Amino acid sequence: MNNLAVYVGLDYHQSGVQVCVLDRQGKALANKMCANNWQAVVQAVEAHGTVTRAAIESCSGAADFAEELINHAEWNVDLAHPGYVSRMRQNPDKTDYSDARMLADLERVGYLPKVWLAPETVRELRVLVRYRLQQVAQRRNAKLRIGAILREQRLKYTAHGRWSLPWLWWLNNQAALSEQGRWVVDQHLKELEYRGGKIAETEKQLAKVCRDDPLIQRLMQIAGIGKVTAWMFRAEVGRFDRFGNGKQLARFCGLTPRNASSGMRQADAGLIHAANKDLRTIVMEAAHRLIRTDNHWNQLALRLRARGKAPSVIVAAVANRWVRWLFNEVQRPCAA
């Protein structure tokens, strides 16, 4: 085997992988398309030297491919953040050839913006959690469409809250819908029943998969966290100890104010955009519950309200501080 140390950039596609091999000085030893399997890539690279590190841009299928290289070829593989890599690209043209070269070069000089390579168990959990979120979104959309029809036909029932049992009885038996409006609402109600069954079935599978997960068991012991929140944290955060502190975790959850300062003007511009929006939504919902049910977080909300903060700002601030507290709480040993 050639002992020359090389750095590898992999531009992954379902149909093939563009492989660029650089030496320590940045000289390109190879840059060609290979078949989408780890053996072909290893054969193409190891003819030129021994891999020091390899980089592959995070995309659909890239994590599985990276794990194959780690487990079978024993390579050191990093996943690259696609957004940051895109902003670092100076060439106005985008080709597989240049993308692979850039990944290899960033890895060689130590500037590669890395993301966490989640293990297979976490990636499998993400499949289930995201499927549940899709079903919840479909159910929500059906409810919104029913509400739109009621508004269009100027029908209201104010004695009880929307989607309560009395409201549903009114919708099914007394709402004076037009002939076609009734038919469409009945279709949406059937869809709601179907989606509810799918959600229940998915939650049953999630409970089975997560039954022996120690992190989920630890999260469920903390006030304000139910099974859905615990599943979401486990799937999207994975491991709390991969963050250096709670502030980093809060930023990952999208709860950090976005700075919009220029010169002498210092200002915030809402929350950062680069975040998992589903994870942020789950944390915001937890913050709403904590404000209602937990005296400590309720007092914080009252202090912020006394300072004239908007309700949305108050909830975001509580969510931010709660996640930072949660980072330390999760890693604290459980009381016997």
Q: What is the pLDDT of residues 268-278, one digit of tens each?
A: 667 888 788 99
- At residue 262's C-alpha, the angle toward residues 260 and 268, to 5°, is 20
CB neighbours of 58 closer than 8 A, spacing ≥ 6? 79, 80, 81, 82, 115
Instruction: Tell me 288's DSSP state.
Output: H
Question: Are 242 and 318 found together in one domain?
Answer: yes
Q: Of the candidates 85, 115, 145, which is a domain's last residue? A: 115
Bridge partner list, 262: 265
> Residue 132: pLDDT above 80?
yes
Q: How many domains does the chain have?
A: 3
Please tell me the least confidently modeled range out of 10-19, 79-88, 162-171: 79-88
Mean pLDDT of the chain: 91
**pLDDT (0 to 100) of residue 335:** 46
User: Is 155 inside any structural domain?
Assistant: yes
Nearest partner of 257 among 242, 268, 246, 244, judged by Cα: 268
CB 11 within 8 A of CB 21: no
Write the DSSP assignment of 251-268 as a string of letters: HHTT-SEEE--BTTB--E
Q: Of the candidates 170, 190, 209, which is a domain's last residue? A: 209
User: Is 336 inside any structural domain?
Assistant: no
**Residue type for position 167:** W
pLDDT tens for each residue of 182-239: 999 999 999 999 999 999 999 999 999 999 999 999 999 998 899 999 999 999 999 9
Which strands sit side by side in the sheet containing 5-12, from one edge to the other? Answer: 28-34, 17-23, 5-12, 50-57, 77-80, 114-115
Question: Are 91 and 140 found together in one domain?
Answer: no
Question: Are 291 and 201 found together in one domain?
Answer: no
Q: What share of the chain is helix, strand, coil (3-state, %, to 5)?
A: 55, 15, 30
* Half-sphere exposure for 16 (CA within 13 Å, toward CB): 10
Instruction: Tell me 81's DSSP state.
Output: P
| 124 Cα distance to chain centroid | 13
CB 327 within 8 A of CB 249: yes
Instruction: Tell me 210's DSSP state.
Output: T
d(CA 100, CA 157): 60
54 SS3 class: strand
Q: How confident is the model at residue 260 (pLDDT cuts 50, 70, 90)?
A: low
Nearest partner of 50 among 80, 5, 81, judged by Cα: 5
Question: Are 196 and 268 found together in one domain?
Answer: no
Q: Of the candidates 82, 115, 148, which is a domain's last residue? A: 115
Other CB atoms within 10 Å distance of the CB of residue 70? 15
Question: Are 253 and 325 found together in one domain?
Answer: yes
Provide the domain limits for residue 150: 120-209
User: Is 175 inside any structural domain?
Assistant: yes
Strands 50-57 and 5-12: parallel
Question: Are 191 and 219 found together in one domain?
Answer: no
Nearest partner of 180 among 144, 156, 153, 147, judged by Cα: 153
User: Is 154 inside any structural domain?
Assistant: yes
| CATH number (domain holding residue 43) | 3.30.420.40
38 SS3 class: helix
Q: How confident is the model at residue 266 (pLDDT cuts 50, 70, 90)?
A: low
Question: Are 136 and 203 found together in one domain?
Answer: yes
pLDDT tens for each residue of 235-255: 999 999 999 999 999 999 999
Question: Are 109 and 124 found together in one domain?
Answer: no
Q: How confident is the model at residue 294 (pLDDT cuts 50, 70, 90)?
A: very high
Q: How confident is the model at residue 334 (pLDDT cuts 50, 70, 90)?
A: low
CB 232 within 8 A of CB 203: no
Q: Both tokens of residue 142? A: 């059906």
d(CA 54, CA 7): 6
Q: How confident is the model at residue 89 (pLDDT cuts 50, 70, 90)?
A: confident
**pLDDT (0 to 100) of residue 272:** 80
Strands 114-115 and 257-259: unpaired
Question: Are 262 and 284 found together in one domain?
Answer: yes
Determine the average pLDDT of the residues in 283-295.
Answer: 94
User: Is 100 inside any structural domain?
Assistant: yes
Question: Are 90 and 157 found together in one domain?
Answer: no
* Half-sphere exposure for 32 (CA within 13 Å, toward CB): 11
Question: Are 43 and 128 found together in one domain?
Answer: no
pTM above 0.95, yes or no: no
User: Is 139 inside any structural domain?
Assistant: yes
Determine the average pLDDT of the residues in 151-173.
Answer: 92
Question: Are 324 and 238 found together in one domain?
Answer: yes
**pLDDT (0 to 100) of residue 336:** 38
User: Is 335 inside any structural domain?
Assistant: no
Other CB atoms within 10 Å distance of the CB of residue 241? 9
User: Is 31 inside any structural domain?
Assistant: yes
Please tell me the least confidently modeled range out of 1-5, 124-128, 141-145, 284-288: 1-5
